[in-house]
Amino acid sequence: MVVPVATWSRMLCSGIATLILWSGASLASTEGGEPLVVRYPDMSSPLDQRNDYFEQLLRLALEKTRDDFGDYRLQAVPLRVPQGRILRLLSAGEKIDVLWSMTTRNRERHLRPVRIPLTKGMAGYRLLVVRSDDHARFADATTLEALARHVAGQAADWPDTDILRHNELPVTTSGYFSLFTMLRHGRIDYIPRALNEPWAEVAQRPELDLKVEPRLLLHYPAASYFFVRRQNAALAQRLEQGLERAIADGSFDELFFQHPSQRPIFERAELSERHVLKLTNPLLPERTPLDRSELWWHPDMTDDVIADSAQHKVGRP
């Protein structure tokens, strides 16, 4: 069947108009007085409260841009699925509009990153959760070769899994919650956790008799970002502007240093006493803003870490 040129023109114009309306709907809705709805994954549970800091940072970024972009409403979407599934939902534009996660080359190909490190690079500093009666086994793990005699536990879709394996460290994978039980039962020997994670995780599972290993610190360059769908440039722009303003006026650092999930780092990590094992990160994208020193937290493994926490008035929780 031959379609007249005039009909094709009407169809094309209608399609373009629909596409424009669809692509701009999420932010254009604020022009009519309706708040922008920003959906994010709620992965919290009684045993997993890691996300409160990121939720507060998301709210801070949106609040800083309210005058320019209009009102907003955050909507938590309960999702109890693996991280990889949540990433695919965002890429497809289903259920959520933003998430936070460690960046990789692959993730930046499929999603749009907001290149402001949300934990100032802290995601690349890793402490080890071990069995309480077993931490002496790590006393001689002063090299990667020695650490490789022990088996790490990770989730299969965490970037850290590939980073550890790239550095020739043995890894066994499972779901997040089951990792701690596997550790207790000796199926793995340690779980590397970001600096702001392990104490709460250990305290929430007293029956497993776990502890934070006191001597070692793994480090590789890493950044956690907000990610949005690739087509959602408007939300990415708003979040970037909001975070930049929070950095400029000091409210970003205030939240970073004062949030209860961060405080144990300065009170209990004893960074100056730890032996650092440096790993390479083959997943780190080339556009990571490593040249912007104000975006990164750099513990120098000396007493300056304690002085810095005092400067920011970090108290005990």
Structure tokens at 309: 């926490």
Please determine, for residue 303, whether its predicted confidence score (pLDDT) is greater than 80: no
Q: Is the pLDDT of residue 53 over 60?
A: yes
Last residue of a domain, one of 219, 242, 261: 219
Check whether residue 117 and residue 129 sit in a common domain. no
Parent domain of 91? 30-122+222-311
pLDDT of 23 higher than 80: no
Give the start-end residues of each E strand in 168-263. 171-173, 191-194, 210-212, 216-219, 224-229
State both tokens at 78.
Answer: 């309960």
Residue 125 pLDDT grade (very low, low, confident, very high; cuts 50, 70, 90): very high
**What share of the chain has pLDDT > 70, as a percent?**
82
Domain count across the chain: 2
Would the pLDDT of 11 be above 50? no
pTM of the model as a whole: 0.80
* Predicted local confidence at residue 277, as pLDDT: 96
Let me know whether 203 and 231 are in one domain.
Answer: no
What is residue 305's predicted lDDT score, i.e. its pLDDT? Answer: 38
Mean pLDDT of the chain: 85
Q: For residues 282 and 300, which has the higher predicted lDDT (pLDDT)?
A: 282
Q: Which residue has the higher pLDDT, 94 or 32?
A: 94
Task: Judge contact between 65 and 245, C-beta under 8 A.
Answer: yes
For the chain, give me the number of helices (H) and strands (E)?
Answer: 13, 12
Is the Cα dihedral 62, 63, 64, 68 positive or negative? positive
| In a domain? residue 52 | yes
**Predicted pLDDT at 312:** 40
Q: How confident is the model at residue 269 (pLDDT cuts 50, 70, 90)?
A: confident
pLDDT mean over 145-149: 97
* Residue 9 covered by a domain: no
Among candidate residues 146, 148, 165, 147, the one with its CA nearest the CA of residue 156: 165
Has residue 142 got a pLDDT over 70?
A: yes
Q: Which residue has the tokens 């990433």?
A: 87
pLDDT, position 160: 94
3-state secondary structure at position 258 = helix
pLDDT at 60 over 80: yes
Same domain, 182 and 46: no
pLDDT at residue number 54: 95
Please report whether residue 14 resides in a domain.
no
Q: Are residues 118 and 241 in the same domain?
A: yes
Q: Are residues 114 and 127 in the same domain?
A: no
The Cβ of residue 54 has, within 10 Å, a number of other Cβ atoms equal to 20
Q: Among 117, 125, 169, 86, which residue's Cα sits nearest to residue 292?
A: 117
Residue by residue, DSSP assigns 129-151 as EEETTTGGGGTT--SHHHHTTS-
Higher per-residue confidence, 264 vs 8? 264
Is the predicted pLDDT of residue 6 greater than 70, yes or no?
A: no
17 versus 206: the higher-pLDDT residue is: 206
Nearest to 217 by CA among 262, 269, 275, 298: 275
Q: What is the mean pLDDT of residues 165-190?
A: 96
Q: Helix, strand or coil for residue 155? A: coil
Q: What is the CATH number of the domain that holds 118?
A: 3.40.190.10
Residue 42 lies in a domain: yes
More confidently predicted of 260 and 275: 275
Average pLDDT (279-307) is 79
Overall average pLDDT of the 272-282 stretch: 92
Domain boundary among 219, 236, 251: 219
More confident residue, 299 or 173: 173
Confidence band, pLDDT 50/70/90 cuts, at residue 300: low
Cα separation, 166 vs 164, whole angstroms: 5
Query: Is 188 a residue whose pLDDT tops 50?
Result: yes
Q: Are 202 and 135 in contact (CB under 8 A)?
A: no
| Residue 58 within any structural domain of the chain | yes
Rg from Cα positions in the chain: 22
Sign of the dihedral through C-alpha 158, 160, 251, 256 = positive
Calculate the CA 68 to chain-centre distance: 27
* One domain, residues 163 and 286: no
Residue 296 corresponds to which amino acid? W
> Does residue 236 share a domain with residue 276?
yes
Q: Between these two residues, 121 and 24, which has the higher pLDDT value?
A: 121
Among 187, 219, 251, residue at a domain's last position: 219
